[in-house]
Amino acid sequence: MTVQGLPMAVPAQGLPTRVRIHEVGARDGLQNEKSTVPTEIKAEFIRRLADSGLTTIEATSFVHPKWVPQLADAEELFPAVSELPVALPVLVPNERGLDRALSLGATRVAVFASATESFAKANLNRTVDEALAMFEPVVARAKAEQVHVRGYLSMCFGDPWEGPVPVQQVVHVAKALLDMGCDELSLGDTIGVATPGHVLELLGVLKEQHVPTSALGVHFHDTYGQALANTLAALQHGVTTVDASAGGLGGCPYAKSATGNLATEDLVWMLQGLGIDTGVDLGRLVATSVWMAAHLGRPSPSRAVRALGTTPQPHKEQ
């Protein structure tokens, strides 16, 4: 029977039984807002995301404040949420960023590489190799401090300046990130141009070249409405870490055509329908995105938030 506000669970063969959602709304989402959200609202957003059952919530970035002014309050925000009983990864592009994060007690960091030269230049002011050289001491120091390191890899499918990105080019940078010691890798479709066959092709080649699927996450933006289809393809391949952004917030300030990430609510709806456990209370999450949309002054682009957000949602039994 369908519970109001939840899809009927009908499992499909060959899919994982549990998926870990890596929530990026507070970072990937808010970094792209025209206006800067006040620190206290960001902290409340993260608290509500944790309260809805998300266990990995990317909090902010320790990048140059001139490059991403929306996240310039990282020093104030991080201590306001650091006691929450969830994993709170933060982005660090270089040793300066790592120093800032470590001084506040961060235990999870992420470096962010690009598969293309154009985006490496636009996002990091470096070539691909220079960026990898910048990350090396960051990863080495983080590992020495028992800090978990995620490696993002952007433009895995297409690039706004260079067009389609050859799979081998992606594999080369992916291996470099894992070889330098990243614990996990998030494959980014930064501008949302991937389609399921392309996702399976990349995952297949990575597997052939001995990159363990268990170390991979997927990070889809929803520009062309393909993010859920791409996610399903990745799940069929065995991926169990999926990045998503509450309410579909997001984009990237240094990739003009990037729109919002896959909305966490749309993802949870699909996973719940497939009988895949996420630990997330969809009603609470929708309420959080409706609350955030009111602060941002515009409706959420998430289809599930639009469908569910107008009526009170039942909360899951604790």
Report the interface residues with ligand HMG, using CB under 6 A: 28, 31, 61-64, 67-68, 91, 93-94, 96-97, 112, 123-125, 152, 154, 188, 190, 219, 252, 254
Query: Quick check: is 156 catalytic?
Result: no
Q: What would the x/- binding string for Mg ion be over residues 17 to 46, using CB under 5 A? A: -----------x------------------
For 125, 155, 174, 191, the CA distances from 199, given in Å and listed in that order, are 28, 12, 15, 14
Quote the tokens at residue 114: 């690009």
The partner in contact with residue 64, picked from ligand HMG, Mg ion, none with C-beta cut-offs of 5 to 8 angstroms by kind, is ligand HMG
Residues 262-292 as b/e (b if ≥16 CB within 10 A, e otherwise) read bbbbbbbbbbbbbebebebbbbbbbbbbbeb
Q: Which of 21, 106, 252, 270 is catalytic?
A: 252
CA distance 210 to 222: 29
Q: Which residues contact 129 (CB under 8 A, 6 or more apart)?
A: none
User: Least distance to Mg ion from the beta carbon of 188, Å?
Assistant: 6
Contact 142, 93 (CB under 8 A): no
User: Least distance to Mg ion from the beta carbon of 270, Å?
Assistant: 19
For 62, 111, 119, 185, 203, the CA distances from 197, given in Å and listed in that order, are 35, 27, 24, 20, 10
User: Least distance to ligand HMG from the beta carbon of 314, Å?
Assistant: 33
CA distance 238 to 255: 29
The partner in contact with residue 52, picked from Mg ion, ligand HMG, none with C-beta cut-offs of 5 to 8 angstroms by kind, is none
The partner in contact with residue 97, picked from Mg ion, ligand HMG, none with C-beta cut-offs of 5 to 8 angstroms by kind, is ligand HMG
The angle at the Cα of 164, spanning 158 to 169, to the nearest 5 degrees, equals 85
Q: Is 189 in the site for Mg ion (CB under 5 A)?
A: no
Q: Which residues contact 293 (CB under 8 A, 6 or more apart)?
A: 247, 299, 300, 305
**Pairing status of strand 163-164 against strand 158-159:** antiparallel
Cβ closer to Mg ion: 124 or 274? 124
Size of the site for Mg ion (CB under 5 A): 1
User: Least distance to ligand HMG from the beta carbon of 223, Å?
Assistant: 11
Quote the tokens at residue 282: 């969809």
Cβ closer to ligand HMG: 35 or 311? 35
Cβ closer to Mg ion: 46 or 187? 187
The partner in contact with residue 248, picked from ligand HMG, Mg ion, none with C-beta cut-offs of 5 to 8 angstroms by kind, is none
Query: Nearest to ligand HMG by Cβ — which residue?
Result: 188
Q: Which residues bind Mg ion (CB under 5 A)?
A: 28
Q: Which residues form the catalytic set?
A: 252
